[in-house]
Amino acid sequence: MIKNIECLYLHETFEIDEKMIAVISLDKKYAQYGRSIIIHAEQGVFLIDRTTKQLMNTFNKINRGGILYSKVVAEISLIKRNIPLVNGTTLYMPMTGSSKFSADWIGLHMIEEFKQTQKIANFTTIFGEKINLDFPQGNLSGRLHDACYFSEFHIDAWIISTESMHGTAVFSAHAGLVRQFVGCNCATHLTLPKKFADVTIFTDSITLRVLKEFSKDDVEVSFVESYKVKLRRLSKMKSI
């Protein structure tokens, strides 16, 4: 693919969406062409002039919370590296875990099969296309297991929350590799939400992280605590 880079067009106005199959970082020697390559289910293969990190930092356009949701799930599960981006069955996994560099990303909801060949991850898309990405460290199956957990957590929390309002959550019937570890009984999967109280802990953690972000430059540390008290008061019924 790299040898044909001159044949690719630069998509100057591309906005992130869930139809991306892969987001690949370009080496600096190709900077004259662009900074990333996108493999897209509908728009084909093209270049963008943003790094993969800059593009994936706009994931909030898909799930509103960006990586915040994943950070909270990571704290609950104690998964500290290679944190994916998730919105239900839409799941993007980084191929490397370092925040110092722009990683390659793969959309697991767009992948049908995988295998690891030494330090290369071989993926087959739901359309039958082959994509090979560098996978410098780790076990690919284990990495996929941890990434899919984030989607399962998001989905289970969504279902429990919706059912608490007597509603029904509906997800895509085909989710690629995303649902392949459902039913796993490992220690990580035991932390999946099982009741509404578990979902409340998740949403409270998100609220707390937001409040801390707003208050991190304030002189008074009590800012967060005062707002937590106010939130509790607002959640209680008041006499009319």
Full 3-state SS string of the chain: CHHHHHHCCECCCCCCCCCEEEEEECCHHHCCCCCEEEEECCCEEEEECCCHHHHHCCCHHHHCCCCHHHHHHHHHHCCCCCCCEEECCEEEEECCCCCCCCCCEEEHHHEEEEEEECCEEEEEECCCCEEEEECCCCCHHHHHHHHHHHHHHHHHHHHHHHHCCCCCCCCCCCCCCCCCCCCCCCCCHHHCCCCHHHHHHHHHHHHHHHHHHHHCCCCCCHHHHHHHHHHHHHCCCCCC
Beta bridge partners of 137: none
Whether the predicted pLDDT of 82 surpasses 70: yes
pTM of the predicted model, to two decimals?
A: 0.86
Structure tokens at 69: 């949701």
Same domain, 202 and 91: no
- 127 with 209, same domain: the answer is no
149 and 211 in a single domain? The answer is: no
Percent of the chain at pLDDT > 70 equals 84
pLDDT in tens, 165-203: 888 877 776 789 999 999 899 999 999 999 999 998 888
117 and 186 fall within a common domain: yes
155 and 227 co-located in one domain? no
**Beta-sheet pairing, 85-87 with 20-25:** unpaired
Q: Is residue 94 in some structural domain?
A: yes
What average pLDDT does this structure show over 81-93? 94
Percent of the chain with pLDDT over 90: 58
187 and 73, same structural domain? yes
Sign of CA dihedral 141, 177, 57, 21: positive
Identify the pLDDT of residue 151.
95
Total structural domains within the chain: 2
* Among the ranges given (64-68, 101-105, 110-114, 204-208), the one the predictor scored with the smallest mean pLDDT: 204-208
User: Can you give the pLDDT at residue 219?
Assistant: 46
138 shares its domain with 207: no
Mean pLDDT throughout 66-70? 90
What confidence score (pLDDT) does residue 240 get? 47
More confident residue, 32 or 48: 48
Q: Is the predicted pLDDT of residue 231 greater than 70, yes or no?
A: no
Task: Look at residue 239 and tell me if it is in a domain.
Answer: no
Question: Does residue 150 sit in the same domain as residue 220?
Answer: no
Residue 168 confidence (pLDDT): 80
Nearest to 38 by CA among 61, 84, 67, 5: 5
**CA 110 to CA 125: how far, in whole Å?**
6
Pair (174, 206) in one structural domain: no
Which domain covers residue 217, as residue numbers? 196-234
CA separation for the pair 223, 227 (Å, rounded): 6
**Weakest-pLDDT range from 10-14, 31-35, 120-124, 147-151:** 31-35
